[in-house]
Amino acid sequence: MSSAPKIHRGNSVPISNDQLAALIDAHPKPSAISNYSYGTAGFRYEASLLPCVFVRMGIFAALRSASLGGEEVGVMITASHNPEPDNGMKIADSNGGMLDAAWEKHAVSLANAPTPKQALVLIDTLSKYALGRHPLAQGNPAKLPKMVVHVGRDTRSHSPPLANLVIRAALAMGATVIDHGEVSTPMLHHFVMHANGHLLPSIIPQRCNESGYYEIMALSYAALLRTGKLDGVGGKRLAHTKELVIDGACGIGALKIDTFRKIFDKLNAEGCTYGLPVLCTMNFPGEGPLNENCGAEYVQKQQLPPKLYSPEPKMLGLSKGYMTSFDGDADRVVFHFEDTQGKFHLLDGDKIAVLVSSFIQEELRCIDPNGQAVKCGVVQTAYANGSSTLYLKNVVKTNVVIAKTGVKFVHAAAHHHFDVGVYFEANGHGTVLFGPKFYDFIAAADARLRGTPRNNRANIALRRLRLLPALVNQSVGDAMSDMLLVDAILFLRGWDLNTWAQLYSDMPTRQAKVKVADRTVITTNDNETAAVSPVALQKALQSAMDAMAVEENSVDGPKPRCFVRPSGTEDAVRVYAEANTQSGADSLASEAMMLIYKLCGGVGSPPQPFISNRL
């Protein structure tokens, strides 16, 4: 089911400068790279360009752990939704979240040091800064501090050799390395968060390894389903929500979700009566190319069902049922289904944010009818569909904050603004963060409701809310955890995907990418809704939006919207357009693509405009 991690003990004496220089020199900076950047989600490049970064980041991760007094940190080797030839790394800080912003700058400086000698100077400064005393290198006779680095990797063929570079470098620094082998990104973050138990809220049982991860999630999910029998509202599985088909993007998620399938099959065989679904996993690694024509990125961006590479017998005839798609490192999930007319419906991160935030607010109100005790809210990005933002504000009546694209920004905003902060990027990447006031609220409710009938609504709500921090991965968005959460909410409400889809209609959208010589010529405002440079670009985009608003006569409803920004994970400029009609969104996107091509140094032949073929 899950294998134990391999624990490697590092050098017991400080490494000499010569040894350190030799380690770095063995993997010099490739000439194709002028500057490595730590994009939206870490370093991400074509795999052959990465060994230089990986050695240096092995050293860096050890230093980061030392700087935190030996708290454990993590390195995840993955390029997520990118194509198979790319790879990358994300560094997890000791709280399980993204690397601290100040240290991100140090990581970039170290990755870009032009020579081993300059890298050594940086390492020396960092280690003095980290420890407030002697540097770690230079054969310093002082005792080495505690350093622990967790390493995980996705299923790409070049991930094992790249992981070995990180491991060797961290060991050379004297760190202990806990090698988890193939795991999803959110699992690695979860292990790190749980390894530093003193940072974990007491409501969450501490489990530092893979079997503990499954145990916490499967048990809290099952316990949440069990509460469905009590409130007389939901707790029913409609025929086609009994089986859940998972498109694993031919990546790690398929392997890992299969463990839940085994756990649920066993419970079902033992006669469990509270509605566990049958999980049917498709698109395992090796069955098709990673992320290609399948997985969350493809499904969400193309708004099309995934290609199913798995052999027919595994499909159990369920391909038209209730279905989810993960991305290549299983930190994103979207849901989709075909209706009886064969029309494809996508339930993206925005729909998940609506479902989850309304559920949590409803449960909170069963205990606190005024909804005053805990501040709830949703963090979205500029990519959130305009209809979802309106629905959240007007129907769910929750607070909405728009943050920059990327988990490091949305996570920080959720943490900063709310006691219960739901964040989801439209692409399905997100989670729910519970803050100290939420835990105080649960403790106070517990004391107040003690002795009241077990099955009154407030008690049921309390039981449900108490399970959420363990079910919902508190470190980062997690496709498996989010899938179980959404499934449980649908079950408790007695909903199918269609009921959920009908909550509001998405505005038609179009997304595209344009290749330019240097995408950094485009800069944006704080929440990326407008380009700041080149100035002519935003002016022209604004005119296009205004013209579309007139054409669509959108007086009362949401206005057409279009923005562009350089991708932080791919060498391209992203275009987003939404309007009241598909042809409006297509025409805005086409115009934006052409403007980028002309004003920002487009390469290759001019982009082809979209021809609307869908209403």
Ligand X SMILES: CC(=O)N[C@H]1[C@@H](OP(=O)(O)O)O[C@H](CO)[C@@H](O)[C@@H]1O
Binder to ligand X among 17, 310, 358, 427 (CB under 6 A)? 427
Binder to Mg ion among 40, 65, 80, 511 (CB under 5 A)? 80
Residue 351 interacting entry, from Mg ion, ligand X, none, C-beta within 5 to 8 Å by type = none
Residue 424 interacting entry, from Mg ion, ligand X, none, C-beta within 5 to 8 Å by type = none
Nearer to ligand X, 464 or 561 (CB): 561
For residue 193, the minimal CB distance to Mg ion (Å) is 18
From residue 460, how far is each of 228, 367, 457, 463, 495 by CA, in Å? 9, 9, 5, 5, 19
Identify which range of 53-61, 249-257, 402-410, 478-486 contacts ligand X by CB under 6 A: 402-410
Task: State the maximum Cα–Cα separation within the chain, in Å, rounded to a whole number.
Answer: 75
Binder to ligand X among 155, 361, 509, 569 (CB under 6 A)? 569
Decide if 80 is catalytic.
yes
Contact flag: residue 86 with Mg ion (CB under 5 A)? no
Per residue, the 3-state secondary structure of 463-527, as one string, reads HHHHHHHHHCCCCCCCHHHHHHHHHHHHHHHCCCHHHHHCCCCCCCEEEEEECECCHHHCEECCC
Distance CA 461, CA 445 (A): 10
Contact flag: residue 383 with ligand X (CB under 6 A)? yes
Distance CA 262, CA 259 (A): 5
Q: 58: closest CA among 11, 102, 100, 2?
A: 11
* Stretch 23-82 residues interacting with ligand X (CB under 6 A): 40-41, 80
Nearer to Mg ion, 332 or 336 (CB): 332
Binder to Mg ion among 210, 297, 331, 570 (CB under 5 A)? 331
Residue 329 interacting entry, from ligand X, Mg ion, none, C-beta within 5 to 8 Å by type = Mg ion
Distance CA 340, CA 100 (A): 48
Distance CA 198, CA 377 (A): 27
Identify which range of 198-206, 523-531, 556-564, 568-576 contacts ligand X by CB under 6 A: 568-576
Residue 383 interacting entry, from ligand X, Mg ion, none, C-beta within 5 to 8 Å by type = ligand X
Contact flag: residue 329 with Mg ion (CB under 5 A)? yes
Partnered with residue 399 across adjacent β-strands are 377
Residues contacting 331, CB < 8 A, separation 6+: 80, 184, 185, 186, 429, 476, 477, 478, 479
Q: Is 577 helix (H, G, I), strand (E, B) or coil?
A: strand
For residue 295, the minimal CB distance to ligand X (Å) is 12
Q: 8: closest CA among 171, 153, 131, 144?
A: 171
Binder to ligand X among 267, 567, 571, 601 (CB under 6 A)? 567
Nearer to ligand X, 209 or 405 (CB): 405
For residue 580, the minimal CB distance to Mg ion (Å) is 31
Nearer to ligand X, 80 or 87 (CB): 80
Partnered with residue 561 across adjacent β-strands are 578
Question: Do you find a cis peptide bond into 28, omega within 30 degrees of 0?
Answer: no
Contact flag: residue 407 with ligand X (CB under 6 A)? yes
Partnered with residue 148 across adjacent β-strands are 72, 176
Nearer to ligand X, 384 or 445 (CB): 384
How many residues bind ligand X, per CB under 6 A? 15
Of the residues 48, 65, 67, 80, only one is catalytic, namely 80
Tokens of 243: 């089986």
Residues contributing to the site for Mg ion (CB under 5 A)? 80, 327, 329, 331
Residues contributing to the site for ligand X (CB under 6 A)? 40-41, 80, 383, 405-407, 425, 427, 429, 567-570, 574
Active-site positions?
80
